A and B are shown apart, each in its own frame.
Chain A
Amino acid sequence: MVPLSWYVGLSSALFLIGLVGVLIRRNTLVVLLCIEIMLNAVNVNFVAFSKYQHVIDAQILVFFVITVAAAEVAIGLGIIISLFRLKGSVNIDNFNILKL
């Protein structure tokens, strides 16, 4: 029987990989992919707790997280297309027009 802490450890490692990816990558598309990694880390945590505590509600929450992830991807890719049309690049260093 796998202890619950292993799942929590896996999920935190996955979340940290996503966090580091968001912080160090310069390509905006890859930054969005890393946000998906972080959302999946949270989902793994939810499903593990759902099994070990015998509550189904956590799986419903995962369902809603997936919904929000789909919405976020649609909006995020729309913003990226719009910015690419404006700047001709997806490099995050070029997106500083709001900087004072």
Chain B
Amino acid sequence: MEILSFAYFGSAILISALMVVVFKNPLYSAMSLLSMFAHVAGLYVTLEAEFLAGVQLLVYAGAILVLYIFVVMLLNVQAQGRVLQKQTPVVLGAAVVAIVEVAFLISRTHFYPELPPVPQAGIVPLGNTETIGMVLYTKYLFPFEIASLVLLIALVGAIVMAKGKLKLR
């Protein structure tokens, strides 16, 4: 059962990612990316990370992708004649080398076997969201605050970048 769901989600993720790269129209690429995000969220559910699956759908598919599609439609980008760059053969050769290298590394790596569940006597087992909240607001409180600063800088930077000179052409 688990192998079946991994096979479905994994193949769907890979096929949608390939479609993002090969489609000529950027709107079709964005739609394929939506399919990839949804299937990655499904993979998270099978990996017992339900909170992250929800965050993946809300933030990636809900916010980031809508922003992309908005910009694609705002700029009215048409599908252009050539998809690929001039140096495509060189890049494809380098990609083949990289794939062989990663496959060799994975085949030679000794992975840990699955560890048994940690027995915690006297502690009520919490759900996924509660556990993440507990760790995020205690152990990772300072990085959490830094993340808010990163988002603030991105907010200001995006406005400054996109505003321009406020001069009509």
Question: Which residues of A come within 8 Å of B, CB atoms?
Answer: 1-10, 12-14, 16-21, 23-27, 29-30, 32-34, 36-37, 40, 43-44, 47-48, 50-54, 56-57, 59-60, 62-64, 66-75, 77-82, 84-85, 90-93
Contacts and interface: CB of A to CB of B under 8 A. Distances in A.
B140 A25 contact: no
Of A9, A30, A79, A91, chain B has the most CB atoms within 10 Å of the CB of: A30
Nearest first, the 9 A-B pairs at minimum CB distance are: A78-B161, A71-B154, A21-B21, A78-B158, A74-B158, A78-B162, A23-B91, A12-B102, A17-B17
Interface residues of B, number: 81
A81 B52 contact: no
Nearest to A40: B40
B77 A90 contact: yes
Chain A CB within 10 Å, residue with most, of B75, B99, B157 = B75
Contact of B135 (A6, A21, A57): A57
B64 A36 contact: yes
A20 B21 contact: yes
Contacts of A25: 21, 83-85
Counting chain A CB atoms within 10 Å of each CB, the highest count among B74, B83, B111, B135 belongs to: B111
A47 B154 contact: no
A2 to B, nearest CB: 5
Given A16-B95, A26-B83, A50-B49, A44 B43 contact: yes
B68 A37 contact: no
B117 to A, nearest CB: 7
Given A75-B154, A78-B157, A34 B112 contact: no
A1 B25 CA distance: 39
B140 A74 contact: no
B114 A29 contact: no
A37 B158 contact: no
Nearest to B24: A27
B106 A12 contact: yes
9 contacts: A5-B111, A16-B95, A27-B80, A29-B26, A37-B17, A40-B60, A51-B49, A52-B112, A70-B64
B14 A13 contact: yes
A37 B20 contact: yes
